[in-house]
Amino acid sequence: MHDAPAACRSCGGELNLVMADLGRLPLANGLVAPARLATPAPRHPLRAMVCEGCWLVQLDRDLPAETMFADYLYFSSYSESWLAHAKRHAETMIRRLSLGPQSRVVEIASNDGYLLRNFVEAGIPCLGIEPAANVAAVAMQAGVPTMVAWFGAELAATLAATSGQADLIVANNVLAHVPDPHDFIAGVARLLAQGGVWTVEFPHLARLLAESQFDTIYHEHVCYFSLLALEPLLARHGLEVSDVEELPTHGGSLRLHVRHAGRGPASPAVDALRAAEREAGLGAPDIYRAFPARIARILGDLVAFVQGVKARGERIAAYGAAAKGATLLDSAGLSVRDIAFVADRSPHKQGLCYPGSGLPILPPEEIARTRPDWVLILPWNLAEEISAELGFIGAWGGRFLRAVPELKVWAPA
Ligand SMILES: [Zn+2]
């Protein structure tokens, strides 16, 4: 590709610094029916660039939104740890903001109602906004008011005019997926009541860098945020960060509490995190420049291990058909010839296949039935939960393996 540098989605600067170039990959969430494997899935360049003006890491091109949400298969409620995380957050915010029957809560990308159900149970009026119709339908069946729509400045203006502003807006793991963060944040600023709080969660770029989590780069994940990169973007829309929490979810996330600007001092945690990010080098090019070599090493180690497994006549299966697994396998060039299948608890994924590598997605019972020598845990963020669940592989001497942040093997406890 010799096209002109893309412009930064935040400040408009030129994007010239490559943090990760994973080649041309199929959409990581675009699971396909086995019959469709005969036709190779369309591949698109996947490249993360760094803006040296504002340090926002971002993909340098967009895909049409319809491509990505046509068959959306991620249902939040299939992870117990994520459900517990959502419940705790709801309870904390109800207490912290004294939310009650007069309040209003809006969640953007509310998925299957995994979070809002807690507000429904507490009798607090709420609305979910979810672009994937099949996922929104599940929420509505569960009694969570949900609108099938894309969130942006226009929808926010309509909602504010018709049903009023929100005391709490929640956006978990959606901001990073939005091609135009300005439109999204302008919408939040419009919908948020004067004394209201927006809590926004996203995987923390500092953790991605520190732990080589390059497999969290995929086409749907457009921006990779640090506090450093997000603050100027918020300021452009009259918003500021009042507090920050570091969370273990998705390999290390930030939860920012955002409010209208000029409402008093922020928590000391905000200054501390800003300083820590500078200290870690997020405001200079070196850390980004060094990243491609780390990706190459992880991929090389994984491929060598899998070749060794095959050479010894052992068998390997994968677990957890998350998007990051598709990215890992596709960028390593591994396929169903190397790894028999990927097991996953979600019945919505079972029976389908990863689009590039072609691994069939089967119920977890297949692990017990086929007794593989190795189980490659793809969602490394859930490795503990998964290896506890699959402890039974020890009965036939099975062992676990993960590739990120570096190759690690271990026996069940
Ligand atoms: Zn920029």
CA 232 – ligand 1 centroid, Å:
9
CA 207 – ligand 1 centroid, Å:
20
pLDDT tier at 2 (50, 70, 90 boundaries)?
very low
221 pLDDT higher than 70: yes
pLDDT of residue 4: 72
Give Cβ neighbours of residue 156 (< 8 Å, ≥ 6 apart).
186, 187, 188, 190, 191
pLDDT tier at 409 (50, 70, 90 boundaries)?
very high
pLDDT of residue 39: 85
CA 50 – ligand 1 centroid, Å:
8
CA 359 – ligand 1 centroid, Å:
38
pLDDT of residue 68: 54
pLDDT tier at 249 (50, 70, 90 boundaries)?
confident
CA 330 – ligand 1 centroid, Å:
29
CA 270 – ligand 1 centroid, Å:
21
pLDDT of residue 36: 83
CA 53 – ligand 1 centroid, Å:
5
Q: What is the mean pLDDT of residues 403-407?
A: 96
Q: What is the mean pLDDT of residues 178-196?
A: 97
CA 279 – ligand 1 centroid, Å:
20
Query: At CB < 8 A and 24+ separation, what contacts does 90-97 make?
Result: 90/115, 90/118, 90/119, 90/122, 91/118, 93/168, 93/170, 93/197, 93/199, 94/119, 94/122, 94/124, 96/197, 97/167, 97/168, 97/197
Determine the Cα–Cα distance for residues 74 and 77; give it in Å rounded to an integer.
Answer: 9
Domains of the chain and any CATH numbers: 76-288 (3.40.50.150), 304-410 (3.40.50.720)
pLDDT of residue 361: 97
CA 371 – ligand 1 centroid, Å:
50
Percent of the chain clearing pLDDT 90 (strictly above): 84
CA 298 – ligand 1 centroid, Å:
29
Give the DSSP letter string of 166-211.
Answer: EEEEEEES-GGG-S-HHHHHHHHHHHEEEEEEEEEEEE-HHHHHHT
CA 4 – ligand 1 centroid, Å:
16
Residue 83's identity, in one-letter code, is L
> Which candidate, 366, 288, 297, 299, places its Cα nearest to that of 327?
299
CA 291 – ligand 1 centroid, Å:
19
CA 143 – ligand 1 centroid, Å:
41
CA 234 – ligand 1 centroid, Å:
13
Q: What mean pLDDT value characterizes the chain?
A: 93
CA 392 – ligand 1 centroid, Å:
49
Please state the pTM of the whole predicted model. 0.90
CA 152 – ligand 1 centroid, Å:
21
